[in-house]
Chain A
Amino acid sequence: MASERIRFYQTGSFAAGNRLLPEDMRSEQSSAARANTLTCGHRACQGCGEALGARYALDAVMRATKGKMIAVNATGCLEVFSTPFPETSWQIPWLHSLFGNAPAVASGVAAALAAAGRTDTRVVAQGGDGGTVDIGMACLSGLFERNDDVLYICYDNQAYMNTGVQRSGATPPAARTATTPAVGPEPGNAFGQGKNVPLIAMAHGIPYTATATVADLRDLEYKATRAMDFRGARYLHVLVPCPLGWGSSPADTIKVARLATESGLFPVFEAEGDQVISAARIRHQVPVTDYLRLQARYAHLFRPRERTDVIARLQAGADRNIARFGLLEEPDPDHSERVRLTPAPVHDSQLRR
């Protein structure tokens, strides 16, 4: 019988399969007892990063809270594809109110739970980048400032995908959207100052802030779980590629997300208070073009001629992130607190060493 030697890195993702781990260290998604918070039958597109991210994050929170969770959802793709009346994919108490108010609604839920002495039930609010970075920003800042006991999760796909891919405050420079079309001498989104909500969250000094991507789902599970160790306002910013809006193949969602981190364009880190306590190191730095080429929203950077000037500016942005968060530095050997603090799920960086 032909056999094949299973190599650790055979998927190209460097991620270790669950089967190689002892049962108590396996991912929540591998558990038959997982909550299936966002269950099957929803209407997300093929390869939707947001659906994937939401399922992993919320199932991890469900495990951490022993099933006592209430979720508040901003208007957006996640809300629309999960609850076409009278169907719902949510197996949890779930409330959608408006586009820009999810953080405030969640504050109200937390206040009602506190008033009723039911603080064992925890509150998660979630929205896309439009609902978070733009229209929900004031409510989010209020939530942070009051330090209300809410975990807010932003699924960032870098534009208003639900309304047809319009620019948001999280749309990166040069990206094509329906309102920053790839026409004229400077096609795509203008180079602005950006709006880094994780850093804004940290500036509020909230107990816990983290970023994650759907390329490293164990890390996402870990951070969603870790967030529940804290009381007060917590913020989790998850990069979720959108094949429709990014013009990437649905099969490449994970790969695109991984290249976003490996290029330095999307730094993955966690912070307590205003201090970064860990950052995911880049093992093999890739040029930003590896990331850009997979996405039609950047096609104008390569055709009809390569816009080396624009690409250089994007690369400079990635290099700034790498320097700022020390993404290429050797990890401090004493900095394995993630694993000490949360026995499961284990962060896969432990498996790489």
Chain B
Amino acid sequence: MLKQIEGSRAVAETVARCRPQVICAYPITPQTHIVEALGTLVKNGDLNSAFINVESEFSAMSAVIGASATGARTYTATASQGLLYMSEAVYNAAGLGLPVVMTVANRAIGAPINIWNDHSDAMSQRDAGWIQLYAETSQEAADLHIQAFLLAEQLSNPVMVCMDGFLLTHASERADIPDQPEVDAFLPAYQPRQVLDPADPVSIGAMVGPEAFTEVRYLADQRMRQALELIPDIAAAFWRQFGRASGGLVRPYRTAGADLVVVALGSVLGTVKDTVDQLRDDGIRAGVLGLTSFRPFPAQAIREALGDGHRPRRLVVIERALAPGSGGIVTAELRAALADADGRSCPAGNPIISTVVAGLGGRPVTRKSLHEMLTGAAHGVLPPFSYLDLRTELAQAELARIRATRRSGPSAENILRDLSATAPGPQG
């Protein structure tokens, strides 16, 4: 049913229609509205599921591991510090090959503590063995969960659906929540590949030494490669069943014949597309390549989307997370994806790649700033690595303090003090 609905609520109602049998949750902003809504649906009898209020995210992931191994369809949701706190169990769920589905309401990681959106949390778990899908809109966030359960269960591998905290979780948008019969037709009952059953006892989670560990890890990678085939298939099936495009590996926008292509993930894609339209009006041949799947990393789909013959001259990667001491996480993956068959990372004809770190800790990524930055990129003046809207004067002031005084104090608090000193008062 089409309605105006908060993103979290849309996800909760859609997850409920996927009939999870066990839901575990520990509250963390900005994931809370999702699990509150699911808890209410269970409590008032609208959803027949066991809902466990656990004492930590580590416990949440652990409980869904146990439930999934017992043959239940399982769901949890978290964000930020919570994802890090459960990290050991996140790896474990994937290592055991359990098809858990989890929403990550993307949020920055502290310190400094920050509740607002970026992709630091999910990116930190990029090699945990989970499939990672990033939603552009509330509608897609909801839809991706239906696809995620199917994908997870077909592969026996967990899937993380990433949706930008607040920007998607708390925004009220128009979304179509599928009816129960439609979801039932798309998502069959869960048939576990492995299950704890007294009638047929198996040991799960045995110690594996050097004689077989590599092979078990090889199989984890194979599941990811299989996912590269399945994700587009499931998105196509979803389109046939529900009549809208959601999911898939990549989402190109005006890339045909583009000289400049912006690569990004998540809700920022909307603003980027608007900016690209503006650039096109300016006469700059710009396009966008949205990545829906970050794990597996869709290298071939990216190469195809960028055109094997005529590639854009320049790529700008919007990084919603920072890899200190290295730069951009997506950029590194993209460079590897564009390598030639011999593994040369910068073959002739490959684009110049610029990394732009943007929107950390909820800093708005505005069309104005994007337009300015991309115009610079089109004119060849964008450096290989930069920050969007970095307040250089604040950073420089702190650097000066550090140079001047040994005991310069906590940087974050110093910067905040500087900010309040320069901020306009209540009278503006």
A interface residues, Cβ below 8 angstroms from B? 67-70, 72-73, 79-80, 83-86, 88, 90-98, 100-101, 104-116, 121, 138-139, 141-142, 145-146, 148
C-alpha gap A121/B66 in the complex (Å): 14
Determine which residue in B24, B53, B64, B204 has the highest number of CB atoms from chain A within 10 A of its CB, and name it: B204
Closest 8 CB pairs of A and B: A108-B66, A96-B205, A108-B63, A142-B55, A104-B62, A101-B62, A112-B70, A112-B72
Number of A-B contacts (CB under 8 A): 161
A148 partner residues in chain B, CB cutoff 8 A: 52
A111's partner among B63, B89, B197, B202 (CB-CB below 8 A) is B63
Q: Smallest CB–CB gap between B192 and chain A, Å?
A: 10
B67 partner residues in chain A, CB cutoff 8 A: 108-109, 111-112, 115
B69 partner residues in chain A, CB cutoff 8 A: 95, 105, 108-109
A101 partner residues in chain B, CB cutoff 8 A: 58-59, 62, 65, 88-89
* Closest B residue to A111 using CB positions: B50
Can you pick out 21 interface pairs between chain A and chain B where the beta carbons lie within 8 Å of each other?
A84-B209, A86-B206, A90-B201, A96-B204, A96-B205, A101-B62, A105-B65, A107-B52, A108-B52, A108-B64, A108-B65, A108-B69, A109-B70, A110-B66, A111-B50, A112-B50, A112-B70, A139-B59, A142-B54, A142-B59, A146-B52
Beyond the given A106-B66, A138-B58, could you list 8 further A-B residue pairs with CB under 8 A, ordered by the A residue number?
A68-B198, A96-B204, A97-B66, A97-B205, A112-B22, A115-B22, A116-B70, A148-B52
Residue B96 is within 8 A (CB to CB) of chain A in the complex: yes
Q: Smallest CB–CB gap between A69 and chain B, Å?
A: 6
C-alpha gap A96/B58 in the complex (Å): 15
Q: Smallest CB–CB gap between A319 and chain B, Å?
A: 36
* Closest B residue to A80 using CB positions: B207
* Closest B residue to A66 using CB positions: B198
A145:B55 contact, CB within 8 angstroms: yes
C-alpha gap A107/B67 in the complex (Å): 8
C-alpha gap A159/B52 in the complex (Å): 32
* Closest A residue to B72 using CB positions: A112
Given A90-B203, A112-B21, A112-B50, do A104 and B198 touch, yes or no (CB 8 Å)? no
Given A90-B201, A108-B70, do A97 and B62 touch, yes or no (CB 8 Å)? yes
Residue B196 is within 8 A (CB to CB) of chain A in the complex: yes
A94:B201 contact, CB within 8 angstroms: yes
A139:B72 contact, CB within 8 angstroms: no
C-alpha gap A49/B81 in the complex (Å): 40
A106 partner residues in chain B, CB cutoff 8 A: 66
B22:A97 contact, CB within 8 angstroms: no
A91:B212 contact, CB within 8 angstroms: no
* Closest A residue to B20 using CB positions: A115
Q: Smallest CB–CB gap between A353 and chain B, Å?
A: 39
B206:A84 contact, CB within 8 angstroms: yes
B48 partner residues in chain A, CB cutoff 8 A: 115
- Residues 319-374 (chain B) with a chain A CB within 8 angstroms: none
A115:B21 contact, CB within 8 angstroms: yes
A114:B50 contact, CB within 8 angstroms: yes
A113's partner among B70, B92, B205, B208 (CB-CB below 8 A) is B70
